[in-house]
Amino acid sequence: MTRILAPLACLVATGYATAPVLERANGPSAQTCSQLSSAFGSAFHWPQNDNFTIWDAKQQEVHPACRVEPSSANDVAKILDTLVSHCERRGSLPKPGRFQFSRGGVTVDLNRLSGVEILQGDTRARVGGGATTVKVYEALESQNLSFVGGRVGSVGMGGFTLGGGTSPFSNKYGWSLDNVYEYEVVLSNGTITTASETHNPDLYFALRGGGNNFGIVTAFTVRTFSQGPVFTSTTTYSANQSNQVLDKVYDLYTDKSLSSDKEMGYDLYYSYSSESDRFTLSGTQRYGKPVPNPPVFAALDRIPTLSRNTNIGRMSEAVDGTDSMGTTRHLFATLSVAPSRSLLSEGLRIFQEEVEAIKHVPGLVPSFISYPLQRNAIKAMKQRGGNALGIDRDEPLFLILISTAWSERTNDADVNRMTVNTIERLNATANNLGVASRYKYINYASAAQASTVFSGYGDENLQRLRRIQKAVDPRGIFTSKGLWRGFVKLL
């Protein structure tokens, strides 16, 4: 959840939540790193004098052989050429039944590719592939503009947008991936190209949900729109109000007379705090206009609260930007379901039971988070040839995220077990209620769920994505047998 990284190696990639701890480079990567060091000077870093930090402590433990910070698409192409030719010389490019394992990868850190340039009468902006959400909001706000960005300021543009990108503005404009007009991409052979509805339309389709399987995206041309201050309110409720809150939240998510208010967004949270030894239900109301108490939330606002914090301000202030880096362990897992009021109550009950069993884990902060993919956002997925997610329905889809933070490596197995159990039980309940969905949001999927993410896009989209992958990357550099193996792979 930080700036976008593209870890590459001579046959090892780091970069996934459960990646093994890799040792320092020896052999092949060290040679490649030396070559990059000569070419990139102060934009190159050996690990022993690198203070680089990454959001998740598990990933912080994965030591790359070196890190390089390209400043342009040309630099990215040069790095890729260096890595690929090095591996080719060693005869270790993927061939069936023949590839080796080496330690320590090369981290390609796109953080210098973070410019934001406003184009064409304020209707679009070119955003660097390594820009963080809060930086994009800030750059656009100087002109009273905004874009379809996320809720967490430190998240990088690349991974967020390539996977989907749910936003407080999604009820109005759709997900981030449906608001990209053009991608600038470096392909595995070092070619710099663009993909839009009219140029490379297949690649354009694939990049709208296909993740890191096609190339390294160095710039996104995105929709911008006039935007003033937004309303945000976070409210907590006592346990005896849960049913009432869930009733009203369910209405907000499903009742057309409420969800047709496109300024509206609402996220539901059920979290455990070890400090207070308590589970708390809370919600964040979002409204795209500076209205103090938007009428769309009137029914919810009649329910007594334990606390309520309200703010009217710019998006850059409303996003949560205070993540600590590299010290806390995190695990996400996800499920999507058709609207169901019973599933919400059952979901909280199941989550609570599973968390109760691991309450001893130090630093434990687990949350059950849910919000809908609204009808308008689903409709927006059909624009410009459609995206790869395979979501086509007349009713909303509820996304559920089980997100857990904790402190110690010795508890990884406890948290994994809690998460797997919760998802399995939620899924069984969804199946019983007839509301299960094949779709899993890639940016919330756990490593254990990675192998079923793309099949959740539907068989036709899966096959199409694989064909496009083979066409743009015939040597499989960006596949699970290539040089960039982390995250969710098509092949």
Ligand X SMILES: *[C@@H]1O[C@H](CO)[C@@H](O)[C@H](O)[C@H]1NC(C)=O
Q: Provide long-range contacts, Cβ within 8 A and 24+ apart, for 413-417.
A: 414/358, 414/361, 415/329, 415/331, 415/358, 415/361, 415/364, 415/366, 416/331, 416/448, 417/358
- Using the minimum distance from each CB to ligand X, give the nearer residue, 449 or 461: 449
Give Cβ neighbours of residue 263 (< 8 Å, ≥ 6 apart): 171, 172, 287, 288, 289, 294, 296
8 Å CB contact between 345 and 353: no
Compute CA distances 320 → 100, 168, 435, 470, 475, whole Å: 42, 12, 32, 38, 40
420 three-class SS: helix
Minimum distance of ligand X from residue 253's CB (angstroms): 21
d(CA 58, CA 326): 8
- Using the minimum distance from each CB to ligand X, give the nearer residue, 305 or 345: 305
- Using the minimum distance from each CB to ligand X, give the nearer residue, 278 or 382: 278
Name the closest residue to ligand X (Cβ): 238
- Using the minimum distance from each CB to ligand X, give the nearer residue, 134 or 335: 335
- Using the minimum distance from each CB to ligand X, give the nearer residue, 240 or 276: 240
Minimum distance of ligand X from residue 134's CB (angstroms): 17
Minimum distance of ligand X from residue 193's CB (angstroms): 7
Among 322, 241, 314, 323, residue whose Cα is nearest residue 283: 241
Minimum distance of ligand X from residue 32's CB (angstroms): 21
d(CA 45, CA 35): 12
- Using the minimum distance from each CB to ligand X, give the nearer residue, 280 or 376: 280
- Using the minimum distance from each CB to ligand X, give the nearer residue, 103 or 440: 440
d(CA 340, CA 352): 19
In degrees and rounded to multiples of 5, residue 414 shows phi and psi of -60, -45
Minimum distance of ligand X from residue 452's CB (angstroms): 6
Helix (H) or strand (E) holding 311: strand 307-313
- Using the minimum distance from each CB to ligand X, give the nearer residue, 18 or 238: 238
Minimum distance of ligand X from residue 427's CB (angstroms): 4
Minimum distance of ligand X from residue 17's CB (angstroms): 17
Residues 161-173, buried b or exposed e (16+ Cβ, 10 A)? bbbbbbbbbbbbb
Give Cβ neighbours of residue 447 (< 8 Å, ≥ 6 apart): 16, 17, 18
Minimum distance of ligand X from residue 343's CB (angstroms): 13
- Sites of contact with ligand X (CB under 6 A): 51, 143-144, 187, 189, 191, 238, 240, 335, 423-424, 427, 431, 436, 452, 471-472
